[in-house]
Chains A and B, each alone.
Chain A
Amino acid sequence: MRFSALRAIARKEFIQIRRDKATLYMVAIFPLMMLVLYGFGIRYDVKSVPMTVLDQDGTPQSRQYVERFVHSPYFVVRRYVNNYRELQRDIDRGESRIGLVVSADFGERLSSRRTAEVQVIVDGADNNTATIAMSYVSQITQAYSSFVMVQQLEALLRQAQLTIPAIEAEPRVWFNPNLESVQFIVPGIIAIIMMIVGTVLTAVTIVKEKETGTIEQIVSSPIGRYELMLGKVLPYAALAYVDFLLIVGASYVLFGVRIKGSLLLLLLTAFIYLIGVLGLGILVSTSTQTQMSAMLTAIMASMLPSILLSGFIFPIRQMPRVLQAITIVVPARYFIEILRDIYLKGLGLEYFWKETLYILLFGCAMLILAARRFQKRLG
């Protein structure tokens, strides 16, 4: 390894990056955009489900019942309709996701202490929203039901000398007491952005030399292949690391996300993760010929698994066995776990030394594989 050669290549690459202002801006803005989109835009909870009401009864009881939906944050009553056809039209056209039909004898049955019926029509296309919305409907219905019951029961209970509820559950949320999703998202964004900058950009920049033919000029120079490989990668390592610091800073300034654990450990583990990320980028570049396929391959091999198979949003434990097995080789999975331990739980190395060891091994394996496949030659 000759450091003068390494420095020369790294310098050339730095100059190319510096000239390319557009890339620099994008590398800086991209993580901020992700942070803002995830932090402000996305809500996992289902709220304000649009609803159409067909109240065939129109008694004080039925209105009281419907009123409960109006005041619930989970539903927005879009329209009151007079017949079934109109309700059907609303659901068909997607204007409402839920249709509530209160039958004509609702009030009368309740007053005479019989079971009244309502029909709930659910747009099941989005199965997730549908399931959650249905459980909200049940909750509201049950609450109203027991309200009616308790009114009628009170005399009975007094007679039986019973008190109503027995057990109360008191939840205490640890690590993220306000259940803010930003807290939980920041570690994932760090891992993903480092992948995009580290792997995708690295792969594309190395393949670019092949594609534009400038590799010939380097081949004819006395620079060795390791110097070439490291020299090309170093500037992107710096970019990825700067991006990481940017996210840490911005999430604190914009969202007040604090690091509970050690900052030093955070900086260190991010550095270890970076090795594997860059190695993966080099590896992709050795197996593709054009920038177009390098980018697509890098996205498929790095970004998609980092977003979907890392536990970033979708918990690993809920996946089918086969996919759980695949997540074992996804480095983002371990890095996100480490970040959450440091960020949210404030834990020390004794809790995540295994994960740290794994990303270290992954990094070494990637670098060795990449170095063996990386050749300084034409074609």
Chain B
Amino acid sequence: MRRILQVVRKEFIQIRRDKGLVRMVLIAPLMQLVIYGYVVATDIRALPMAVLDQSDSAESRRLVDRFVFSGYFTLEGHVGSLKEAERHLNSGRSMIVLVIPEDFARDVRRGVKTQVQLLVDGTNSNTATIAMGYAGGIVAAANQEKLEEGIHRKGLRMIEAGIREEPRVWFNPSLRAINYMIPGIICVLLMEMMVPLTAFSLVRERERGTVEQLMVTPLRAEEVLIGKTIPYIAIGLIDAILILTAGTLWFGVPLPHNLGALLVCTSLFIVVALSLGILVATVVTTQQQAALSAQFALVPNILLSGFMFPIQSMPEAMQWFTTILPMRYFLVIVRSIMMKGLGLTELWDQILPLVGLGAVIFTISWLRFRRVFG
């Protein structure tokens, strides 16, 4: 026990001496919170649009107004020709051009079918799809109004039959994006800090040759391991608490009732991430390699865990692959505790696979660690 404490002390002194590291441990969580909170958590609105109005009539202006007042589009300007429209799309000044044909007003007045064209910049496939959805909705609403108008003009009454839906949003009634982001940021940050930090702190001993000095001391392998990882568990917990506090004070995200459960699961996840770091450390020999291989562990976890992109939309094969990512389970756990107020007993079906995965990773890394550092 005393020997473990000595290793912990040595590691803490090394961390404290590294000013750049201390700075990063404090700044990184806040920087991520701000960036993710403000960038990822935004809706797509105010898409820049240009209009090529060849009809130039009251009818066509009404359609344009509908686009502008929807809030989904902002009018960048009118263009006089297709050539100019092309320039708008090429330069990225507008991402959608509405082309209204010459005989638009005549057709509308006659009640004949007429066509408007939407030229969409498909570069960003995601935004383009959403923009087309918005445009479709606006045109449909215009048609609906036209139909009702016609029926009224003929002195008939509209039939009111139809279905009314009553949406009820649970867990996040205001649909605030940041409420959903904060739990995710905790997961990403822990993964991003814990894996490389442990890997580096172990590989450093190897690269500098100080591992031989550790070997000749009476310290046993498990004492080295525990002693070297305790400071990083502390750093992980501090960072998690930092995000929770900043999220509550700055973004007004409600604190979970089950703070205890959150802490227990967070500690569990930190141990899993540390094991992953230890595993990396036993595979590589230099810190540079550790930097790269940590990215290998990180990127799939961040992209495929459901943090940014919903798992159920992925292809089947990828969905299967996500079941071996520890972050996938931790993400569900943190979100459920923070947003749904669930406790440990309701989350056993997520905690169990996390513990299982952790046990497998830990066993492999422990076996390798004993061979390499023992």
Contacts and interface: CB of A to CB of B under 8 A. Distances in A.
B32 A314 contact: no
B256 to A, nearest CB: 13
Interface in A40-72: 40-50, 65
Interface string B21-43: 10110011001100110111011
A292 B204 contact: yes
B129 interface: yes
Q: How large is the interface on A (under 10, 10 to 19, 20 to 34, 35 or more residues)?
A: 35 or more
Given A141-B165, A166-B146, A290-B20, A130 B172 contact: yes
Contacts of A152: 159, 161
A230 interface: no
Contacts, number: 361
A115 B300 CA distance: 48
B140 to A, nearest CB: 8
A115 B20 contact: no
Contacts of B108: 166-167
Most buried by B among A34, A125, A287, A308: A125
A156 to B, nearest CB: 6
Contact of B151 (A42, A160, A288, A344): A160
Given A40-B315, A42-B314, A293-B20, A145 B163 contact: yes
A50 B319 CA distance: 14
Contacts of B286: 20, 23, 208
Given A33-B299, A167-B142, A174-B121, A293 B21 contact: yes
Interface string A116-130: 111111111111111
A47 B312 contact: yes
Interface in A163-215: 163-177, 179-181, 183-184, 196, 200-201, 204-205, 208, 211-212
Contacts of A320: 38, 42
Nearest to A49: B312
Most buried by B among A49, A122, A129, A340: A122
A292 B200 contact: yes
B144 to A, nearest CB: 8
Contacts of B32: 304
B310 A115 contact: no
Contact of B161 (A22, A41, A115): A115
A117 B28 CA distance: 49
A254 interface: no
Given A183-B125, A204-B291, 9 more contacts: A42-B304, A44-B309, A127-B179, A167-B139, A170-B118, A171-B117, A172-B117, A184-B123, A309-B39
8 contacts: A110-B163, A117-B163, A131-B43, A163-B111, A166-B142, A173-B128, A308-B39, A318-B46
Interface of A: 20, 22-23, 26-27, 30, 33-34, 37-38, 40-50, 65, 76, 91-94, 110, 113-131, 134-135, 137-138, 141, 144-146, 148-149, 152-153, 156, 159-177, 179-181, 183-184, 196, 200-201, 204-205, 208, 211-212, 287-297, 299-300, 304, 308-309, 313-315, 317-320, 322-323, 337, 340-341, 344-345, 347, 351
